[in-house]
Structure 1
Amino acid sequence: MKIGMCMFLWTTAVSKKHEPLLRDIKATGFDGVEIPIFAGTPDDYRKLGELLDRIGLERTAVSAMGDPSMNLISADAATRKAGVDYMKWAIDCADALGALTLSGPLHSTLGAFSGTGPTAAEKKRSIASQRAIGDHAGKRNVTIGLEALNRFECYLLNTMADLSEHVDVIDRPHIKAMYDTFHANIEEADPIGAYTKHRRNVVHIHISENDRGVPGRGNIPWKETFAAIRNSGYDDWLTIEAFGRSLKDLAAQVGLSSPSVSERLRRLEERGVIRAFTVEIDPLALGYTLQAIVRIKPLPGKLHIVQKLIEEIEEFGECDKVTGDDCFVARLFVRSIGDLDGILDRIADKAETSTAIIKAQPIRRRPPPLGLPLGS
């Protein structure tokens, strides 16, 4: 299986300016990224695909349809045609990007409700729209992974049973299903069973915690979920879809509109107060069972050599240059005491070291008090 990271955590418009972030994602160990497709041209995505190739990241694509004027299940033929045209454009962009799958709630307008459940006429119109989309997707060798969303975000397809049945009736090889642990946690009485029962149609999986936060810190039963995925024979993308606090939630907290919050965040970025938006990795999940604080005192004349060596040893997660008897204080991630000894041996002839194994972290890394008025 391949492990991917959805770029929604940072942006809906990935570009050259995100190259440092993309390189960090690659260095962290991800196989690829999921690229949002909402604007631009196929040529824009071709160039982005070339950048990802240079970095060594594979990719999938994701999109959604929030404009009612492009609703694929509308009674108005012109509205449905606009939706099909949008999907053809998105497929062309995904193809140019080099993505073999384009996933998301690409069956109806996100956040639009009729006041009743889906009608037979709406499902019939959906089938016709998806068949037209599927035919175009087949020409581009891009497979659509339709996503079942919870009832608070759409009403056409809420469960894997609804989705899988619909995919069967559409009967196009390039129209399939995506499984999302977040939505399944809301809608399914048996989220894992919903996956296994309809595995035959699943071509993409979103790994998302019940609160959209860091997987493993919520209530999703990951051990059982991963076992079911593995036992089902699925061997494709597991893409992490994690969100920080959304702008709308932030706006509600501070009594501002979303554009106002966006503007303030932009100002903080321009002033250098916010330097980056990042993802937090759990070292334990990668097998790093031990962390240590290492105080390092280079031998005379070895300062720059030791600093360069610390920078090159990837197990050093961070390092500060300090005053006092020692010159460097570094945090080391290791899988065993043997690994710890091996790393320290590499600098033993160049520096004196003092090591303390970390037992617990009562205070996790956090920023200092901002002390900034909202108008800043």
Structure 2
Amino acid sequence: MKFGASTWLWTSPFTGDQIALLENIAALGFDFVELPVEEPSHIPVATLKPVLAHLGLEVVICAAVTAGRDMSAESSAARQQAFDYFESCLALAEGLGASCVVGPLYAPVGKARLGTESLRRAQWERSVASLSQLAQTAGNCGVKLGLEPLNRFETDMINNVADAQRFLQQVASPYLGISLDSFHMNIEETDFRRAVVSAGEQLIHLQVSDSHRGVPGDGNSDWAGLRDGLRAIGYRGKIGIESFSPDASSLAEAVCIWRRFAESQDDFARDGLAFLRRWWAGA
């Protein structure tokens, strides 16, 4: 199994001059890095590709789906703006040799409302149409898209595996799969093993932290159930630690990180990786 870490664990935004952070992630023993794309121009392929190759780090691209990147928006101009952003993410993924682009691609984080049935249906249909088009672009790039369910406080559209599968069925593209995050699963799924088994071959990526978004192994997540589900489906994707640094104040406020979960972010990463290796090797 290949384990990685998101640069969000240390900083926001990630930029091409933060080579030392990539060196640190490799030195900590990770196999890959998740690169969040807060601004596509911040990530220069020509600069980063040889560095990543030298460090032996594979890449997963994580979309930063903010309010101006809404594939479900009523305005066609707004949807086009979102499409252009995701197209840039795919170009970065192709250029860096990333296995996938993951995130809540269907609607921005924080778009959570108690809308009418007709409003919700229209929002859903616009997002399906937009992702159907984006999946064609992904196919041309040879990069898969991973649809990430978020908890109810962050989206009203896709909260669990069942929601994601209904969306995937309507898009019907081999280039659109599911990316799960154990933090959101801990809120929305009743059974980790069952959720993973249900996702099956559609699961292309997994992000983890513990139930409190802290160091893996320090909370009350069902790690045994998660591992059993992954083994049952013969999971061959990657597992990345995603949490956030309170030092990155704007992002920390957005995701409600009010305290530290370890003495340092390096300790968070180091202890989390050690736990994941023991966990995956366990009976």
TM-score (ref. length: structure 2): 0.85
Kindly indicate whether structure 1 or structure 2 has the higher relative contact order, using CA contacts under 8 Å at least 6 residues apart: 2
Partner of 2:23: 23
Question: Any conservation in 2 of the 1:46–1:98 contact (CA below 8 Å)?
Answer: no
Correspondence 1:175-324 to 2 at 5 A: 175-245=176-246, 247=249, 277-280=265-268, 281-282=270-271, 285=275
Partner of 1:71: 70
Structure 2 counterpart SS, 1:198 = helix
1:87 aligns with 2:75: no
Question: Any conservation in 1 of the 2:12–2:251 contact (CA below 8 Å)?
Answer: no
- CA drift at 1:104: 0.7
Whole-angstrom CA distance in 2 between matches of 1:158 and 1:54 = 38
Percent identical pairs in the alignment equals 30
Whole-angstrom CA distance in 2 between matches of 1:48 and 1:163 = 32
Partner of 1:110: 109
Question: Any conservation in 2 of the 1:206–1:241 contact (CA below 8 Å)?
Answer: yes
Ranges in structure 1 where 5+ consecutive residues have no aligned partner: 252-257, 262-275, 288-376
- CA drift at 1:233: 0.4
1:2 aligns with 2:2: yes
Partner of 1:155: 156
Partner of 1:292: none
Instruction: Count how many residue pairs are aligned between Structure 1 and Structure 2.
Output: 265
Question: Any conservation in 1 of the 2:192–2:229 contact (CA below 8 Å)?
Answer: no
- Structure with the higher fraction of residues in helix conformation: 2
Partner of 2:169: 168
RMSD: 2.6
Whole-angstrom CA distance in 2 between matches of 1:177 and 1:137 = 14
Whole-angstrom CA distance in 2 between matches of 1:16 and 1:75 = 34
Whole-angstrom CA distance in 2 between matches of 1:59 and 1:22 = 11
- CA drift at 1:201: 1.2
**AA paired with 2:114?**
G
- CA drift at 1:183: 0.4
Question: Any conservation in 2 of the 1:91–1:142 contact (CA below 8 Å)?
Answer: yes
**AA paired with 1:76?**
S
1:71-107 deviation digits (Å, cap 9, x = unpaired) = 2112222211221121111111222222120101111
Taking a change above 3 Å as real, the CA distance of residues 30 and 104 of structure 1, as seen in their structure-2 partners, is same
Ranges in structure 2 where 5+ consecutive residues have no aligned partner: 259-263, 279-283
**AA paired with 1:81?**
Q
Whole-angstrom CA distance in 2 between matches of 1:182 and 1:250 = 16
1:104-137 deviation digits (Å, cap 9, x = unpaired) = 1111021123432662222211111001100111
Q: Answer with 220-229 or 40-49: which moved more.
A: 40-49
- CA drift at 1:196: 1.1
Whole-angstrom CA distance in 2 between matches of 1:21 and 1:15 = 10
- CA drift at 1:9: 0.6
Taking a change above 3 Å as real, the CA distance of residues 122 and 137 of structure 1, as seen in their structure-2 partners, is same
Whole-angstrom CA distance in 1 between matches of 2:251 and 2:19 = 28
1:162-209 deviation digits (Å, cap 9, x = unpaired) = 011111210111111111111011011223211211223111011121
- CA drift at 1:227: 2.4
